[in-house]
Structure 1
Amino acid sequence: MSRIDIGSDAEIKTFIVLNLVSNIFWLMSSYLTAAYIIYKDVNLKILSKRTAISLVMFCFALVSFSLLANYHLDQFFAICIVVGFGIFLLISRLMLISYVLYTRTNRKFYNNVVIIGFNETSRSLTRLFYSSQSNLRFRGYFDDIDEDSLKQAYPILGNVGNCLDYAIDHHISEIYCTLSPESSADLYRIAEEAEKHFIRFRFVPDLSKFIGRKVHVDFIDNMPILSLRSEPMEYRTAQIKKRLFDIIMSSMILLFLLSWLLPILAILIKFDSKGPVFFSQKRTGRNNREFSCLKLRSLKPVNNANEATAQVTQNDNRLTRVGRFLRKTNLDELPQFFNVLMGEMSIVGARPHMLKHTIDFANLEEAYMIRHLSKPGVTGWAQINGFRGEIKKITQLKKRIEYDIWYIENWNLLLDIKIIFLTIYVTIKGDENAY
C-alpha cells in the first residue's frame, strides 16, 4: 500500500481530498440518521443516539475509504478528524442539551395551557402533555358540566364561557379546544378574542369518529388527508435514505465478508451433498410483486412440488448436515444481500414468504397483505422478537403480522440499525426457532 509522506509535494492535495471526502461522509451519515433534525419538542435521548451513531458511521466510512483508495491515513490527520471532531460534537451537543434542560426547568419558559371540553380526546391530550418532554404546563379543563363529583376529581376550572377571562388573568399561552365548533357558536368568538390577547387557540378534532379507529393525518398544501396508518417509508426522502443505507451496508458485507466466506461455504455444501450451492425460490415482495429470493442450499434435492413448498420443521429430514448449521446461524440467508443490492429486498423488513404461503396466510388473516407495503428484509422486527421460522398456530401468524405492521408504521433509520445489532446478538445467543 502506498503512503503519502508528510512534507511531500502530494501532501496538500491529499489533505484536500481527505477533507472533502470527510465532509461528504459526515453529510451522508448525519443525513441518514437525521442528526441535525430537531423538532419542536427536543428528545434528548434520541438526539444523543443519533449523534453517536452518526459519528460511528462517519469513522467507519472514512476508514473504509482509506483502505479502498489504498491510503494510509496520516496519524495526526486521523486524530484531528476523529478525536477533534468528536470533541467538537460533544461540546456543541452538551451546550444544546444544557440550554434545553434550562428552558424546561425555568418557569419563565413555561407555556401554560388549558383545554376546552372534558371528554376522551381531552383526557388523551392531557396524558400527552404530561408524558412529553415539552415545556407545556397543563392547568385545567373548561366545560359546561354540572356534576360536582367530576369537578372534584378533575381540574375543571369553569364553564366554557369563563375560559377567556381565566386565560387572560393567569397568563395562559395556548388554548386547546376538543369540542366541535358547531356545538357552540361562542367558540369562534373565543378563538378570535384569544388571538387579540396573543393567546394561541388550537382546535383538536376527534378524527377517529370518521372511520371508528385511530387515523394518521397528512396534508396536501393546507388540505388534511386521513389515512389508516402512518407510513414513514412512503415519502421519497425516506426511501432514498433507506436505499442509500441498504446499498452502503450490503456493498460492505459483500466486499469484506461474502468475498471470502461464500467460497468456503460453497465448498462445504458441495462436499456434504449433491446439488447446487445456491437455492432460488419465488417469494412475495413489495406490493405483492414476485422476485427470486437467493439462499444457500440447506435441503436435500426434492422430488415433488409439495416438498418444495412445505415449511421447514424441527428435525426435518430434508435438512443436510451443513444445511442444519447454516440455518441455525442464519448463514443460509447471506446471498440475499445480492437481492438487497438489486433493490428487490432491504436489509431490514418483513421476511418474504413463498408464493403459496402468501395465498394461504392471506386467507387465514385479513391484515396479512399489509406487511407487503414495504420491501421484504434479510432480517426484521418480528424475527428478533421471537417470531421466525415455522408457523404452527394462527396466533404465531397474528403476532408476526402485528410486528411487521408495527415496523412499517414506526420505521426510522435508527430502528433499522437497532434491529441489525439485535439480529447479531440473537444469532450469537441462539434462537430456539432457528432450524
Structure 2
Amino acid sequence: MKYQKGVLQSRQTTVAMFTRFVDSLVILASSVWVAYYFVELTDAANYLAAFIAMMSFYAICELQHFYVSWRTTPFRMEAWRLSVNWLFAFLVASSADSMLDFNMFSSITHQLTWFGVTWIVLLLYRRLLKMILRAARGRGYNTRQVAIVGAGRLGQELAKRINRSPWMGLNIVGHYDTSDYVESDHPEPIARVLGDLEQLVSDAKDGIIDRVYIALPVSKQAYIASLVNELADTTCSVMYLPDVFTFELLHARSDNLGGLPVISIYSSPMDGSNRILKRAFDLVVGSLILLLISVPMLVIACAVKWTSKGPVFFKQHRYGIDGHPIKVWKFRSMNVMENGDKVTQAKKGDNRLTPIGGFLRRTSLDELPQFINVLQGSMSIVGPRPHAVAHNEEYRKLINGYMLRHLVKPGITGWAQINGWRGETDTLDKMEKRIEFDLDYIRNWSVFLDAKIVFLTIFKGFIDKNAY
C-alpha cells in the first residue's frame, strides 16, 4: 500500500497564491525603502536582510499552513498568525546579522523601523484585500451556494454563524435532513428545510449547490456514509462538521495524529508556548506582589505568633495540576491543624478561629503566603482555588467533571472567586456553581483573562460576605 503523508490537506486558493507573491514583495520593498531612508543608499547587505527575512517568512508560513483559504476565518485570527510568523522571520534575519556580522542595519532604530514598517504594510494590504473581497461578495461575486445537511442543533448553529458573517460569501440554499426528521421536534430552523437527502443529491446534480456542509449528529453515521457516497457523483465540495454538541467540550481544539484528524474533548490550555506565558506571568507578577506585601506579611506573621500558640504557617495537602499532591501555604487562622481524611469548612462564628483568624480569612490575608507556592511552581496566581484533599474525594463523586479543574495549576484567586463563589460551600449547588466558573476559566483561558482577574481581585476578591 502506498504511504499517505496525511489524510487532511490545507486548501490552496488563488488568493493564497497571490498573497505568497505580495508578502515577498512587501518584505523586499520595505527593506529597500527603510534602508534608503536611513543611509540614502542601498547595498548588498540590505538586500541580504530582505532575502533572509523573505525565505524565513515563507518557510515559517508553509510549516504553519498559513497560505490557505481564510474565507471563513475572522481577520483577527489571520492577523495574529501573520504577526507571529513575521516576528520569527525578523528574529532569524536579526540573528543572522549578529552572528555573521554582515552590517545589514545601520542602527537599532533602522532595524526596528524595518520590522514595524513591514509588519504594518503586511497587515494593511491583507486588510484591504479582505475588504475588497467582502465588497465583491456583497455584490454577488465570488460567492458560494451552500446546503446544510441537518436541521438540528449543529446545523442551526452553522446557519447562524454563516448569516452573521456575510463577508464569507456563503449563501444558504436551505437545510436538508433525513426522512425521519420531524419539524415539530426541533426549533424553527434559520433556513427552511427543502427536503430529504435524496432531494439534496438531486439538487446537487442539477448544479444549484456549490458546497455541502454535513451537520448530522453522530447517531446518523449510516446516513452520512451513504450521503458521502452519493455526493461523489456530483461536482459539489463536501464538508463534514463533527458533532461537537454531543460532548461538553473543555478547551477543545483540532489536531492530527500522523495525518489523521483528532478533536480533543478535554484538554489543558497549558501546553507549549501557553505554559511558558503562564509561568512568565506568574514569576513577574508574583515577584512584584511578593515584594510589595513582604512588610505586611511580616506584621501578620508576628500577630499570628503573638495571639495564639502554634506555628505561623499552616501547610495543607491539596491537589495540584494533574491531581498531583502539593502543600499549600497559609497563615494559620485556627487553633486546629486539620489535614486528614475529614476537613470541616469554616463556618460563621466558628470557635476554632484564633483571635485574628476571622479577620485574616474574611480579608483573604491568610492566603498571602501562597505567593511562595507561586514562585515554587506548585500554584499559579490565577486558577481554580485548591480544595482540601478530603473535599476533592467527596465532590468528585457528586459533580460530573469536578476533577477537570486540575487540568491547570490551582490559583490564589480565580474566575469563581471574583464572581462571588468563594467561602463555605454548605450546599451542593454552591460547589457546582464554583466548578462551573472554574471550567469556564479553563475553557477561555488567556494571559489577558489572568490580568483581568488579578485587577478585579483588588476590588472583588479580598472581602466577601461568604468568607469567614
TM-score tier by shorter-chain length is 0.5 to 0.7
> Distance in 1 between the 2:401 and 2:355 partners?
37
**2:279 corresponds to which of 243, 247, 265:** 243
Q: How does 1:342-361 map to 2 (within 5 A)?
A: 342-361=376-395
Please name the residue that 1:431 is paired with: 464
Query: Which amino acid in the other structure matches residue 416 of structure 1?
Result: D
Instruction: Deviation per CA, 1:292-325: give whole Å up to 9, x if none.
Output: 11112222x3287789932111222333343333
**1:270 corresponds to which of 289, 300, 305:** 305
Please name the residue that 2:319 is paired with: 284
> Distance in 2 between the 1:335 and 1:281 partners?
12
Maintained 8 Å contact 1:178/1:204: yes
> Distance in 1 between the 2:351 and 2:214 partners?
65
Q: Percent identity?
A: 35
> Distance in 2 between the 1:389 and 1:110 partners?
57
> Distance in 2 between the 1:385 and 1:360 partners?
24
Moved more, 147-156 or 276-285: 147-156
State the shift of 1:408 in Å: 2.4
**1:334 corresponds to which of 358, 368, 380:** 368
Please name the residue that 1:224 is paired with: 261
Moved more, 406-415 or 335-344: 406-415
Instruction: Deviation per CA, 1:394-431: give whole Å up to 9, x if none.
Output: 11122222222222233222222222222222036x42
Please name the residue that 1:114 is paired with: 146
> Distance in 1 between the 2:431 and 2:200 partners?
49
Asked if residue 139 in structure 1 is aligned to residue 151 in structure 2, the reply is: no
State the shift of 1:344 in Å: 0.7
Please name the residue that 2:157 is paired with: 124
State the shift of 1:128 in Å: 2.8
**1:413 corresponds to which of 412, 429, 447:** 447
Query: What SS does the aligned partner of 1:364 have?
Result: coil
Please name the residue that 1:382 is paired with: 416
Q: 1:323 to 1:311 in 2, by over 3 A?
A: same
Maintained 8 Å contact 1:110/1:135: no
Please name the residue that 1:160 is paired with: 200
Q: 1:144 to 1:362 in 2, by over 3 A?
A: closer
Q: Structure 2: any 5+ residue segments left out of the alignment?
A: 1-69, 84-114
Query: What SS does the aligned partner of 1:280 have?
Result: strand
Please name the residue that 2:53 is paired with: none
Maintained 8 Å contact 2:341/2:390: no
Maintained 8 Å contact 1:175/1:202: yes
Maintained 8 Å contact 1:381/1:407: yes
Instruction: Deviation per CA, 1:109-128: give whole Å up to 9, x if none.
Output: 76434124233132232123
State the shift of 1:140 in Å: 2.2
Query: What SS does the aligned partner of 1:298 have?
Result: coil
State the shift of 1:390 in Å: 0.9
Query: Which amino acid in the other structure matches residue 466 of structure 2?
Result: N
How many equivalent residue pairs?
Answer: 357
Q: How does 1:82-101 map to 2 (within 5 A)?
A: none
Please name the residue that 1:213 is paired with: 247
> Distance in 1 between the 2:238 and 2:362 partners?
58
Query: Which amino acid in the other structure matches residue 377 of structure 2?
Result: G
Query: What SS does the aligned partner of 1:201 have?
Result: strand
Maintained 8 Å contact 1:247/1:340: yes
Q: 1:311 to 1:128 in 2, by over 3 A?
A: same
> Distance in 1 between the 2:366 and 2:314 partners?
9
Please name the residue that 2:74 is paired with: 42
Q: 1:318 to 1:375 in 2, by over 3 A?
A: same
State the shift of 1:133 in Å: 8.0
State the shift of 1:342 in Å: 1.1
Asked if residue 202 in structure 1 is aligned to residue 239 in structure 2, the reply is: yes
Query: What SS does the aligned partner of 2:212 have?
Result: strand
TM-score normalised by L of structure 2:
0.62
Maintained 8 Å contact 1:302/1:308: no
Maintained 8 Å contact 1:284/1:290: yes
Please name the residue that 1:23 is paired with: none
TM-score normalised by L of structure 1:
0.66
Q: Structure 1: any 5+ residue segments left out of the alignment?
A: 1-38, 52-84
Query: Which amino acid in the other structure matches residue 347 of structure 2?
Result: T
Maintained 8 Å contact 2:160/2:190: no
Q: 1:399 to 1:110 in 2, by over 3 A?
A: farther
Please name the residue that 2:5 is paired with: none
State the shift of 1:176 in Å: 1.6
Maintained 8 Å contact 2:333/2:356: yes
Please name the residue that 1:27 is paired with: none
Maintained 8 Å contact 1:118/1:141: no
Q: How does 1:7-46 map to 2 (within 5 A)?
A: 41-42=73-74
Q: 1:354 to 1:203 in 2, by over 3 A?
A: closer
Query: Which amino acid in the other structure matches residue 279 of structure 1?
Result: F
Instruction: Deviation per CA, 1:198-246: give whole Å up to 9, x if none.
Output: x6431224466xxx5356554213223354434322x323222222222
Maintained 8 Å contact 1:345/1:376: yes
Maintained 8 Å contact 1:350/1:382: yes
Query: Which amino acid in the other structure matches residue 423 of structure 1?
Result: T
> RMSD of aligned C-alpha atoms?
4.5
